Amino acid sequence: MLYRRLLRPILFRFDAERVHHFAMAILRGLGPIMQTWARERNTRLVPSSAAKLERRVFGLKFPNPVGLAAGFDKNALVLPAWEGLGFGFAEIGTITAKVQPGNPKPRLFRVPEISGVINRMGFNNDGADAVAARLVRLKATPRWPRFPVGINLGKSKITPIEEAAADYLRSFSCLRNLGDYFVLNVSSPNTPGLRSLQDRPALDQLFAAVQAANTSHKPMLVKIAPDLTWEAIDDVLLLVESHRLAGIIATNTTVDHSAVPEHRRQTGGLSGAPVRARSTQMIRHITSQTKVPVIGVGGIFSADDAKEKFDAGAALIQLYTGYIYSGPALIGEILRAL
């Protein structure tokens, strides 16, 4: 209530990206303290329901099924904080082979009338080499989180689309020993041509190349767009199964802005409440067609929204926009309901 009634109205008065950087700075400073407190609390007062919250998905043990979606901690700057806040896993990135400043600012916009966010960030990140070095340093300390760390990979903007597979492989080769699972992000609307990688021939080539290099058999997932047709989704599922990918993340942001008030419309991907129903529909469809695990993301603002995703068949869920609107208490709300 403190966040929703007091802090959020203040924070929402300022530019969304500036507030994000402000929050990240706080989390970077307080993260180790939060992490220590969380670990001591779990050691002294292990909830009787802790075992019920654990999930084993694609060979990994998750202390609970609520994770942080990619896009929040793009450069793996505050991993200890996510453990301290109670997440069961965190996905960093999107990371590209080359350093990218992203698209011109402003590029992040709240749409409070519909509890949404529009972004056209453009995979701004420090690049695979720098992020790998940061993760190596963190892994040598006790601050490495005690939950699975996912790494979301994207295509560098300057790389021609026909060389996309090699670009993903470059990032994966840098990071392969540092992530517990990996995600091929082929569905962001903010890198020109990227969504064409969801077409069957291009996706077939990408999956084959990455899995051939995945000699350590790290769980490899793909993140898909909510704007795909049912036929296109079924094509993705066939390729996921034939190339033995470990899972699917449904969904990314949408380019359908029909729910956005005219004065709020911006170029970019829309996330939040407007994506909830479509994301759930896709999860239900995917899990009816395959046994491949699905991570559900899109429009989770409450315990009921989370339950909807699990009831549709999601094995795990991720938060981002709902976390911005509902605050850190959302994690505990969901876990108590579970």
Which whole number is the average pLDDT over 231-238? 96
| Tens digit of each residue's pLDDT (9 = 90 or more) over 1-21 | 889 999 999 999 999 999 999
Using N-to-C axis directions, what is the helix angle for 276-289 and 303-312, rounded to 10°? 30
Is the distance from CB of 160 to CB of 129 less than 8 angstroms? no
Which whole number is the average pLDDT over 313-332? 97
| Tens digit of each residue's pLDDT (9 = 90 or more) over 28-75 | 999 999 999 999 887 654 455 677 899 999 999 999 999 999 999 999
- 302: pLDDT confidence band, cut at 50, 70 and 90? very high
Is the distance from CB of 84 to CB of 90 less than 8 angstroms? no
User: Residue 90: CA atoms inside 13 Å, Cβ hemisphere, count?
Assistant: 24
| Tens digit of each residue's pLDDT (9 = 90 or more) over 149-208 | 999 999 999 999 999 999 999 999 999 999 999 999 999 988 888 888 899 999 999 999
pLDDT of the residue at 252: 96
Closest to 330 measured CA to CA, from 85, 91, 81, 148: 85
| Tens digit of each residue's pLDDT (9 = 90 or more) over 250-278 | 999 999 999 999 999 999 999 999 999 99
Q: What is the mean pLDDT of the chain?
A: 95
What are the residue numbers of the active site? 188
| Domains detected in the chain | 2-337 (3.20.20.70)
Helix (H, G, I), strand (E, B) or coil at 192: coil
CA geometry: angle 216, 217, 219, nearest 5 deg: 130
| 111 DSSP β-pair partners | 116
Query: pTM for the whole thing?
Result: 0.96
Is the distance from CB of 234 to CB of 249 less than 8 angstroms? no
| Tens digit of each residue's pLDDT (9 = 90 or more) over 206-216 | 999 999 999 99
Q: Determine the distance from the C-alpha atom of residue 181 to the mean position of all C-alpha atoms in its chain, rounded to a whole number.
A: 12
